[in-house]
Amino acid sequence: MRRRSSLAVYLAKSGVPDRAKVEMTEALRLKPNDGTIVLKSVLVFELMNQRFQALEALQKYIQLHGPLEEVLKDPFLSSLRMDPRYLELVKNRESAGKEQQRKSKTKAGKKLDSELTKKPLSPGK
C-alpha cells in the first residue's frame, strides 16, 4: 500500500489531484495506522490545498509517534508549518511527551520504592 501512497504523492505533485485523492484514500483504508502512509497523506492533502485534512492527517501521524523531522524537512510542507494549528499540534505533542516522561519517572520511582520496602537488606550486604 505504500506504493499507492507514493503514487498519490506523485499524482498530487503532477497536478492530478482527483486521482491522487483516490489512491491516498485507498492506501489509508488498507493501512490506516502505517506512519509512512499517514505522513504521505499530510503531503498529498497539503498539495491539494486541503489544509484541514492535512492537519487531521498530521494529528494522526503525531498520535502514531511519527518523527516530526520528516515534516520539518519537507519543503512542500513549509506553508503548513506556518499555520497556527500546526504549531498547536506540535506544542501539544511536546507537552504530552514531557508528561509521559514524568509519569515514567514517577512510575519507576514508585516501583523502586516498592521493591526496597518488600525486601529488607540483610546484615552484611
Q: Does residue 44 lie in a domain region?
A: yes
Query: pLDDT, tens digit, for every residue of 24-49?
Result: 999 999 999 999 999 999 999 999 99
Structural domain for 72, as ranges: 2-109
pLDDT attached to residue 92: 84
What CATH number does the domain containing 33 carry?
A: 1.25.40
Between 97 and 64, the higher pLDDT residue: 64
In a domain, 22, yes or no: yes
User: Hey, what's the torsion of the CAs at 81, 78, 42, 6, to 10 degrees?
Assistant: -160
Per mean pLDDT, which range of 9-18, 50-59, 80-89, 103-112 is the poorest?
Answer: 103-112
Structurally, the chain folds into a number of domains equal to: 1
For residue 115, being part of any structural domain is answered with: no
Q: Which of 9-18, 64-73, 104-113 has the lowest mean pLDDT?
A: 104-113
